[in-house]
């Protein structure tokens, strides 16, 4: 059995299928971790969702910021943005099943010394903390208050995590850390505006994974989200958004052997050099 992880797919269905063939993935034999952002901007988000759902228990995926964007639109709380490619999902005959399935995905998973999350983990969070906080959000998304919470999900405040946060502020901070964060400081303050790479780190902040006091450093964190950074590997991190959407590649890593596999973008939204300046 092999255990693979794949970076942000974002509707790049042809590349996803090609990558599964390249790694010879078998749902009866292997396991697959997906870092979130299954949908949006790429040409075939509907087909990606259907294929991932069909893989059943062989796949574990966490929610990314683009997945939340779909959920808020489907709930009627936001209008699609220019450049979104979600119409096929929203008008599909199996729309409700797809949205319900996505709504039940976690923000964070920890297993066997590894953590799966879309964006990152705050310095004060251990792996166990991240899973516990993820479950708080999962509980709301699975309950009667889900639509109301999605209506107040967006916003950068509170910008600093505290364990005594409560209500929507607490849940929003958890979602922002797990699905949007790139830079933070040692006191769990998040900076949400800068989307470029570490060369553009705002004063007083560091890329979240470079915080020297990060309590999750004992685990291997598997994540994506940061296409302007691209692939990044350290002994305790695999960052897998290699910008397929923007003309880069879709990347998989064998989490046991650390072997890397990649397929090139087939239908980029924009040239990678231009797009990566503003997107992630």
Q: Which residues, in sequence order, are CB contacts of 49 under 8 Å at separation 6+? A: 38, 39, 89, 98, 101, 102
Neighbours of 28 (CB within 10 A): 6
Query: How confident is the model at residue 267, as a pLDDT?
Result: 76
Asked whether 162 and 100 are in contact (CB, 8 A), the reply is no
Closest alpha carbon to 255 in 117, 116, 68, 127: 116
What does the domain layout of the chain look like in residue ranges? 3-275
For 164-187, write each residue's pLDDT tens digit: 999 999 999 999 999 999 999 999
- What's the pTM value of the predicted model, to 2 decimals? 0.95
Look up residue 245 and give its DSSP letter. Answer: G
For 39-49, write each residue's pLDDT tens digit: 999 999 999 99
Look up residue 202 and give its DSSP letter. Answer: P
What class is the 3-275 domain? alpha beta
Closest alpha carbon to 100 in 168, 162, 133, 146: 146
SS3 state of residue 253: strand
For 7-57, write each residue's pLDDT tens digit: 999 999 999 999 999 999 999 999 999 999 999 999 999 999 999 999 999
* pLDDT of 278 strictly over 70: no
């Amino acid at each position: 059995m092999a255990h693979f992880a794949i970076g942000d797919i974002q509707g790049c269905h042809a590349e996803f299928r090609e990558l599964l063939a390249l790694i010879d993935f078998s749902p009866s034999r292997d396991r697959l971790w997906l870092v979130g952002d299954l949908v949006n901007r790429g040409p075939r988000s509907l087909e990606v969702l259907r294929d991932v759902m069909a893989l059943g228990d062989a796949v574990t995926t966490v929610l990314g910021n683009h997945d939340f964007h779909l959920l808020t639109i489907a709930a009627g709380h936001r209008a699609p943005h220019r450049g979104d490619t979600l119409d096929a999902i929203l008008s599909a005959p199996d729309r409700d099943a797809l949205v319900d399935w996505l709504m039940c995905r976690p923000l964070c998973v920890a297993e066997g010394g590894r953590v799966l999350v879309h964006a990152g983990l705050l310095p004060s969070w251990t792996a166990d903390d991240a899973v516990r906080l993820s479950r708080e959000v999962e509980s709301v998304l699975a309950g009667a208050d889900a639509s109301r919470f999605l209506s107040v999900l967006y916003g950068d405040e509170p910008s600093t995590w505290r364990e005594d946060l409560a209500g929507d502020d607490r849940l929003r901070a958890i979602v922002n850390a797990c699905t949007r964060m790139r830079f933070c400081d040692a006191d769990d303050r998040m900076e949400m505006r800068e989307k470029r790479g570490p060369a553009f780190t705002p004063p007083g902040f560091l890329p979240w994974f470079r915080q020297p006091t990060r309590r999750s450093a004992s685990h291997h964190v598997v994540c994506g989200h940061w296409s302007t950074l691209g692939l990044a590997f350290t002994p305790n991190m695999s960052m897998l958004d290699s910008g397929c959407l923007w003309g880069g590649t879709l990347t998989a890593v064998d989490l046991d052997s650390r072997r890397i596999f990649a397929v090139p973008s087939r239908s980029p939204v924009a040239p990678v050099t231009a797009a990566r300046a503003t997107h992630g």
